[in-house]
Chains A and B, each alone.
Chain A
């Protein structure tokens, strides 16, 4: 720690110039916060680490063997046979957990296996169970993050996906391309060339170049090794990048070569050594996965893939009724932009609803008017009808009256005639 004891005047100058100096103050004695990294380290060691690794590939590509070689355990042993010994008709997703201890550090390793991937005659949508699994782990984490009591937050999210490419020597298969396209924005994909001892060094080079060409052509984003400030590290990272995708060979059988005990595969024509850099890229994979980049993989999963998932999920929940979980738009949009869009959508929907309502209202009004008119007509008709009846009756009555009058007249006439007759009779006597 160096000391710059600056006189107050200088400080004043600095502030006048508008920038704040980072003063490095020398300490008179040993304070002890240099111990901070150790404290962090001890806490994490006590807590233990978690890492979830997913392996995907057709059966028979040596996935289980590679996992066993990477972690020097027998994850799949005769008592617990691995997926290779069980024939699957549909794609399943299986988890196995193993606790590995080394130098006082605990690692809870979860291996997610996908037996049955790419093995059927019709492999459409064989990636769907994988996507569902990853999403469900994200959802679990989201839920546990949102809880009130967050004492225990187990991190089961998939941190890394090793995708095994069959060593055909030609290029990627349509299935490989489809799978990677659908998963590169959900998980860190590290493509590997399986069973690399099938190929001669030249074939391997050609194949790698071809694969990288196809990956850039289809705009697949595989896991990118981060650039650091350290020159040395950058050189190493560049070396790794040149050898992507890594061509690996797995084995846990020990063979004696030149009086050395090595892990390898014994052929009649020689021994392919697993840890020999000239034979395959296994050491590079192991160093990168475990020794240098494990934390970075977890960070990228947390900061990029998980955040993408989270913003999509939460934006969808904010506007009830608008189900955006099925929206497959670009996930690189910021959450704010997403919300704006949602709002606009919502507004247009409201407008539409308003218009619809108006229309309905008008229609109803028209109906009512029509009804009223009809009833009016009806009433009028009845009125007329009644009038007619009345008139008819009136007429009848008139008729009757006339008849009566007539009768009266007749009767009177008759009476007079009778009277006359009577008088006549008297006169004639």
Chain B
């Protein structure tokens, strides 16, 4: 607890600034939810990356090669929740995986199940909000962030990537990342990133942080810097190796060790800082204030008004 500061222009010390402390205490007690969805075709290191991001085995496949990875025939949505704690702050992290995306021969509309899932979460939240007797804290299962994994071909985006992002950038925060970037030399990486950014621009795909939601100049400057560096070229690993006497997370190949947290090797550290250390709350806010509100407005307009129902109503709501 901070020591209350004397020396304000008021006649005495009131204690308004302790509100920050009070908020902190409350948040710590309540904990908070974060839902992250990972999308990309199989073999791009999605699960490994999420494990690396949150420094624990939070993804479906907890250990590297346990069991067979059978490619499902249709896109499935699998959500796994964990509660992780750091510095007294509890976070309920839900990782939503989408196995089967982009793996079939015919991938037409493989984003439909994903779109449906996202809208279903908005619908659930809306229903709770509209209830007469609603819970104090509505459980938030809405997808706050969608990490889209781009295959490091070195040429350009694939047709499927463009289609997916076009359809979903208006519904959820999409953060494109270049997977398995240890495939590319630094020059190839820069060229690829440049080309991908250009293509995203050409197709009008607004990835997070979106241009239109920058509040003020400070935000804009910060976000501009981030936007220039996106999409982040990342490498994931949950194994440690000794390099120069230090233990680092990395991948050991016959010609060297790829260090995951070394900014010269890949941009994992940038992604992690951006996602968790600076913009976590912002992701949730954009989801709540903008994406969810858009959904809600559309629903209400379609239905011509809602009638709230009581909690123990057994009839179906007229939503």
A positions within 8 Å CB-CB of B: 58-62, 84-85, 87, 119-124, 166-171, 173-175, 178, 195, 197-201, 206, 265-273, 276, 278-279
Residue B78 interfacial (CB < 8 Å): no
Select one of A120, A167, A265 contacting B159, CB under 8 A: A120
Closest CB-CB distance, B280 to chain A, in whole Å? 29
Closest CB-CB distance, A151 to chain B, in whole Å? 45
Closest CB-CB distance, B23 to chain A, in whole Å? 43
Most chain B CB inside 10 Å of its own CB: which residue of A61, A200, A276, A279: A200
Q: By the criterion CB–CB under 8 Å, are B153 and A59 in contact?
A: yes
Q: By the criterion CB–CB under 8 Å, are B183 and A197 in contact?
A: yes
Q: By the criterion CB–CB under 8 Å, are B254 and A279 in contact?
A: yes
Closest CB-CB distance, B268 to chain A, in whole Å? 13
For the complex, what is the distance from the CA of A265 to the CA of B254, rounded to whole Å?
13
Q: By the criterion CB–CB under 8 Å, are A174 and B103 in contact?
A: yes
Residue B194 interfacial (CB < 8 Å): no
For the complex, what is the distance from the CA of A265 to the CA of B255, rounded to whole Å?
10
User: Residues 176-189 of chain B: 1 if any A CB is under 8 Å from the residue's CB, otherwise 0?
Assistant: 00001011011000
For the complex, what is the distance from the CA of A170 to the CA of B47, rounded to whole Å?
12
Most chain A CB inside 10 Å of its own CB: which residue of B103, B160, B163, B185: B185
Most chain B CB inside 10 Å of its own CB: which residue of A59, A199, A268: A268
CB within 8 Å for A60 and B105 given contacts A174-B71, A279-B255: no
Residue B81 interfacial (CB < 8 Å): no
For B255, what are the chain A residues with a Cβ–Cβ distance below 8 Å? Answer: 267, 269-273, 279
For the complex, what is the distance from the CA of A279 to the CA of B255, rounded to whole Å?
7
List 9 contacting pairs A-B, 8 Å CB cutoff, sorted by A.
A119-B159, A124-B105, A166-B43, A168-B44, A200-B253, A201-B253, A201-B254, A267-B182, A267-B255
For the complex, what is the distance from the CA of A332 to the CA of B153, rounded to whole Å?
39
CB within 8 Å for A121 and B185 given contacts A201-B253, A267-B256: no
- Of residues 125 through 165 on chain B, the ones whose CB sits less than 8 Å from some CB of chain A are 151-156, 158-160, 163
Select one of B107, B153, B254 contacting A278, CB under 8 A: B254
Of B29-37, B258-266, B286-294, the one touching chain A: B258-266
Q: By the criterion CB–CB under 8 Å, are B65 and A206 in contact?
A: yes
Most chain B CB inside 10 Å of its own CB: which residue of A62, A195, A273: A195
CB within 8 Å for A198 and B106 given contacts A167-B43, A268-B264, A278-B254: no
Residue B69 interfacial (CB < 8 Å): yes
Closest partner residue, chain B, to A270 (CB atom) = B256
For the complex, what is the distance from the CA of A84 to the CA of B153, rounded to whole Å?
10
Select one of A167, A168, A175 contacting B105, CB under 8 A: A175
Residue B275 interfacial (CB < 8 Å): no
CB within 8 Å for A268 and B183 given contacts A121-B159, A121-B160, A174-B103: no
For B156, what are the chain A residues with a Cβ–Cβ distance below 8 Å? Answer: 87
For the complex, what is the distance from the CA of A198 to the CA of B44, rounded to whole Å?
11
Residue B252 interfacial (CB < 8 Å): yes
For A121, what are the chain B residues with a Cβ–Cβ distance below 8 Å? Answer: 106-108, 159-160, 163
Main secondary structure of the interface of A (DSSP, over half): loop
Closest CB-CB distance, B147 to chain A, in whole Å? 17
Q: By the criterion CB–CB under 8 Å, are A173 and B108 in contact?
A: no
CB within 8 Å for A173 and B103 given contacts A84-B155, A120-B159, A272-B253: yes
Q: By the criterion CB–CB under 8 Å, are B43 and A200 in contact?
A: no
Q: By the criterion CB–CB under 8 Å, are B183 and A195 in contact?
A: yes
Residue B93 interfacial (CB < 8 Å): no
For A167, what are the chain B residues with a Cβ–Cβ distance below 8 Å? Answer: 43, 180, 183
For the complex, what is the distance from the CA of A10 to the CA of B156, rounded to whole Å?
80
- Of residues 244 through 278 on chain B, the ones whose CB sits less than 8 Å from some CB of chain A are 251-259, 262, 264-265
Q: By the criterion CB–CB under 8 Å, are B105 and A123 in contact?
A: yes
Closest CB-CB distance, B184 to chain A, in whole Å? 9
CB within 8 Å for A178 and B105 given contacts A84-B155, A119-B159, A198-B183: yes
For the complex, what is the distance from the CA of A269 to the CA of B243, rounded to whole Å?
11
For the complex, what is the distance from the CA of A191 to the CA of B105, rounded to whole Å?
19
Closest partner residue, chain B, to A61 (CB atom) = B153
Q: By the criterion CB–CB under 8 Å, are A122 and B43 in contact?
A: no
Closest CB-CB distance, B150 to chain A, in whole Å? 11
Closest CB-CB distance, B2 to chain A, in whole Å? 43
Q: By the criterion CB–CB under 8 Å, are A267 and B185 in contact?
A: yes
CB within 8 Å for A270 and B69 given contacts A121-B108, A175-B105, A198-B182: no
For the complex, what is the distance from the CA of A171 to the CA of B42, rounded to whole Å?
9
For the complex, what is the distance from the CA of A122 to the CA of B109, rounded to whole Å?
10
Closest partner residue, chain B, to A179 (CB atom) = B105
Residue B211 interfacial (CB < 8 Å): no
Q: By the criterion CB–CB under 8 Å, are A170 and B69 in contact?
A: yes
For A268, what are the chain B residues with a Cβ–Cβ distance below 8 Å? Answer: 186, 262, 264-265
Closest partner residue, chain B, to A62 (CB atom) = B154
Residue B104 interfacial (CB < 8 Å): yes
Select one of A123, A170, A175 contacting B43, CB under 8 A: A170
User: Residues 210-252 of chain B: 1 if any A CB is under 8 Å from the residue's CB, otherwise 0?
Assistant: 0000000000000000000000000000000000000000011
- Of residues 57 through 93 on chain B, the ones whose CB sits less than 8 Å from some CB of chain A are 65, 68-69, 71
Most chain B CB inside 10 Å of its own CB: which residue of A121, A171, A273: A121
Closest partner residue, chain B, to A271 (CB atom) = B255
- Of residues 1 through 49 on chain B, the ones whose CB sits less than 8 Å from some CB of chain A are 41-45
Closest partner residue, chain B, to A84 (CB atom) = B155
For B65, what are the chain A residues with a Cβ–Cβ distance below 8 Å? Answer: 206
Closest CB-CB distance, B299 to chain A, in whole Å? 29
Most chain B CB inside 10 Å of its own CB: which residue of A122, A268, A269: A269
Closest CB-CB distance, A265 to chain B, in whole Å? 6
Closest CB-CB distance, A208 to chain B, in whole Å? 13
Select one of B41, B69, B155 contacting A171, CB under 8 A: B69
Closest partner residue, chain B, to A199 (CB atom) = B253
Closest partner residue, chain A, to B107 (CB atom) = A121
Q: By the criterion CB–CB under 8 Å, are B254 and A60 in contact?
A: no
For the complex, what is the distance from the CA of A265 to the CA of B257, rounded to whole Å?
15
For B254, what are the chain A residues with a Cβ–Cβ distance below 8 Å? Answer: 201, 272, 276, 278-279
Select one of B105, B153, B252, B259 contacting A200, CB under 8 A: B252
Closest CB-CB distance, B157 to chain A, in whole Å? 10
Closest CB-CB distance, A195 to chain B, in whole Å? 5
